[in-house]
Structure 1
């Protein structure tokens, strides 16, 4: 609400400034009040801030309302102001009749300054209020520490000392099997999920005396099912924590493990692209959907759409959609991977797989937020358990939404056995370390080339 109000005030002040700067009274507009109360400018003052809120959301500013640094807040607000100013310029300033470009540029600077100073002032006040409430313990974040040794309690003491900045409220310690207990009232290791929900925890911090990668990854697999932030003390360094972004510079330094190493703005832009791309694609490909559905129906008996439970973001199960490419009851003997000469695949199914047309119903999964255009391919729980035995790091891919296409798919292709799935997962792990909008675009382009060349299988 603060951003909306301050953006509207910025536009109002700018229009008053524009009236006097451009001497719009020469156009018959007698009095600034007659100018600013024109129907067009009233609509502009009310509606444009809504568009600006969209830019603010894309910047990632609203993702985490608390624990923002002043510098981060200032830079984010400044970047948003520049983008909003350019949007305003393209829409409105070019319509000012007979005005020199230099004049418009001067107005551009004024508008940009207003769109930075006023929203930033509102944000500064709100952030200051939040900081005061955190210092007074009116706002806090319930935190569960996994570990009950002396070092875990030392971590808790450090968090309490930084409570004025970060607002951590340590509500319990979890006993780790094999470690010396510092407190006899620790929570059982097998009850982590249950207790986290009961205590209303929003943060989990892993602070063991020693933890090998296999145990850490197994623990992460459990914690990803919870809607909480998972962090670890950087002393527990391994390839699992390598490359993951660091949080809380001014408090206890902690490594975030529950989200990928991309900025909040990149997350929001990626999600926006997913929604727009999938929505437009479903509309444009509607004739292809209809023809493919008819072909599947005619080619063999059974449903047109095949639904299968896969594991997605934060290990949440969802139903993936595909055009059916196999005969009905193709897995009567249990889950089985497909291969190039799989007798279970119908003739029409082979054609659909060749051009990956069987995957296009997944744009609906993307639109709903269960998947992304680009991301590690989702697998079934049955195969995940086998993959993790060979590659424990596979659990890390649940930091992000699974994708219709992936780096593993374009570099390796379909997997017909567990070793192939492990090798493909290695590419997906590299993707996690290099996620960006540019990388996604490259993967999409490569995928389109693969589809058009008929190399889908």
Structure 2
């Protein structure tokens, strides 16, 4: 709730400050260019319909750019330097867009003053927006560091390390905002059966969902005595479905991955294991592209879908669309849609992966798999947010449990949305057994460590090549 309120403060503050900045710029524009503008007074200029339209539309454009910049994604404990440069670049982009699209051919003015107009627009908008943001950030940060604000936190673990962490958090001069409301006992840790630590109750892992709801928990910190990687991965896997930040101390995070990025230099360094290597800006742009591309794709393929549906119906009995439960982002199950390529009751004896020359695949199904036509309905999964265009391929829970027993780091893939295509699909292809799934996992982890919009673009290009050449099987 507090997070939502803080985001609203930033959005309202940005709307207000962008309007003020744009108003001051228009006043500046009038007095600097009054000899050539052709308006008798400032009132008539500010009442000009083009100026009024700009006063309404351009601040909204700034808000859209601010959203894409990722500024609103993490409203607390912002980096001051990061906030400065995020504001600087996003305002600069907005100013350039407005200048070259709307103002360069606007009211008559001397060409020699174009740069003066551009600089003036940037200065007024940047100063107004940054001052407002800095005030809101400073106020929130001061309250958090002064222990007036806090986020209800559960420490996952109940041993010596958990107790030591709690003591460190309590003794910090500048709070990081973790307000510990309890500990959670993990079966893998063989600790004495205390009922509380420092007055904070110890709960069983089975009661975690209930405790999170009752105490409105906002943060989870893992502090296990066990140095067993499998126990750590198993714990992380249990926590993903609660859709909360999962914090690890740096030494524990190194057990999971070598990627370490810190944003806060005060006190004990923590890493949010749910935060992938994409910047907040890239995350928002990636999701926006997912929505736009999948929407366009659904419109384009809709006429062909009728032909495909007819071919499927004529080729074999059964539904056109095949639905299957898969595990996706934060270990949440969703329904994946595909054009049916196998005969009905292909898995009547239990889950079975496709194999080479699989007799369960229909003739037209084989053609669709070769060119990956069967995957087209997944654009709907992308559009509604279950999947992304690029991301690790989602698997069924039945196979995930088997993979995690042998490769527990598979749980890391649940940091991000699964995809229609992936690095693993491009470099390895479809997996026909657990061994091949684990082999393909190497590429998926490599993608996780090197995520970027450029990498996504390359994967899409290779996927198109695979589809066109008919190497989908």
- TM-score where L is the length of structure 2: 0.92
Paired residues for 1:342-361 under 5 Å: 342-361=358-377
Distance 1:37 1:200, change over 3 A: same
258, 277, 281: which is aligned to 2:274?
Answer: 258
Distance 1:163 1:67, change over 3 A: farther
CA drift of 1:179 comes to: 4.5
Which residue of 1 is the match for residue 212 of structure 2?
196
Which residue of 2 is the match for residue 236 of structure 1?
252
CA contact (8 A) 2:36 2:109 kept: no
CA drift of 1:242 comes to: 1.8
CA contact (8 A) 1:131 1:164 kept: no
CA drift of 1:455 comes to: 0.6
Paired residues for 1:270-349 under 5 Å: 270-349=286-365
SS of 1:142 mapped into structure 2: strand
Distance 1:163 1:201, change over 3 A: farther
Superposed CA offset, 1:131-167 (max 9, x none): 2433554431011112223332221232234474421
162, 165, 173: which is aligned to 2:183?
Answer: 173
CA drift of 1:110 comes to: 1.4
In 2, distance between residues paired with 1:105 and 1:290?
55
CA RMSD in angstroms comes to: 1.9
CA contact (8 A) 1:144 1:205 kept: yes
193, 211, 219: which is aligned to 2:235?
Answer: 219
In 1, distance between residues paired with 2:49 and 2:27?
15
CA contact (8 A) 1:174 1:188 kept: yes
Structure 1: gaps spanning 5 or more residues? none
83, 89, 110: which is aligned to 1:79?
Answer: 89
Matched, 1:409 2:425: yes
In 2, distance between residues paired with 1:203 and 1:161?
19
Superposed CA offset, 1:299-320 (max 9, x none): 2221111110000000000000
In 2, distance between residues paired with 1:148 and 1:219?
13
Q: Which segment is superposed worse, 65-74 or 402-411?
A: 65-74
Which residue of 1 is the match for residue 141 of structure 2?
131
CA contact (8 A) 2:18 2:129 kept: yes
Superposed CA offset, 1:89-118 (max 9, x none): 122222136645542122111111122110
CA contact (8 A) 2:79 2:263 kept: no
CA contact (8 A) 1:245 1:256 kept: no
CA drift of 1:15 comes to: 1.4
Distance 1:370 1:71, change over 3 A: same
Which residue of 1 is the match for residue 163 of structure 2?
153
CA contact (8 A) 2:154 2:220 kept: yes
Q: Which segment is superposed worse, 230-239 or 386-395?
A: 230-239
Which residue of 2 is the match for residue 61 of structure 1?
71
CA contact (8 A) 1:247 1:256 kept: no
CA contact (8 A) 2:424 2:441 kept: yes
Distance 1:305 1:203, change over 3 A: same
Q: Name the count of aligned residue pairs.
A: 456
3, 13, 23: which is aligned to 1:12?
Answer: 23
CA contact (8 A) 1:11 1:111 kept: yes
Which residue of 1 is the match for residue 52 of structure 2?
42
CA contact (8 A) 1:202 1:227 kept: no
Distance 1:160 1:43, change over 3 A: farther
SS of 1:429 mapped into structure 2: helix
In 2, distance between residues paired with 1:226 and 1:278?
28
SS of 1:169 mapped into structure 2: strand
Superposed CA offset, 1:190-236 (max 9, x none): 43344333322111111122331111111111100112100111232
Structure 2: gaps spanning 5 or more residues? 1-11, 197-201
CA drift of 1:75 comes to: 1.2
In 2, distance between residues paired with 1:174 and 1:52?
44
42, 56, 60: which is aligned to 1:32?
Answer: 42
SS of 1:166 mapped into structure 2: coil
SS of 2:242 mapped into structure 1: coil
- TM-score where L is the length of structure 1: 0.95
SS of 1:337 mapped into structure 2: coil
Which residue of 2 is the match for residue 22 of structure 1?
33
In 2, distance between residues paired with 1:188 and 1:318?
28
Matched, 1:144 2:160: no
CA drift of 1:76 comes to: 1.0
118, 125, 130: which is aligned to 1:115?
Answer: 125
In 1, distance between residues paired with 2:385 and 2:359?
34
CA contact (8 A) 1:151 1:209 kept: yes
Which residue of 2 is the match for residue 399 of structure 1?
415
Which residue of 2 is the match for residue 434 of structure 1?
450
Q: Which segment is superposed worse, 177-186 or 416-425?
A: 177-186
CA contact (8 A) 1:244 1:257 kept: no
In 2, distance between residues paired with 1:281 and 1:297?
23
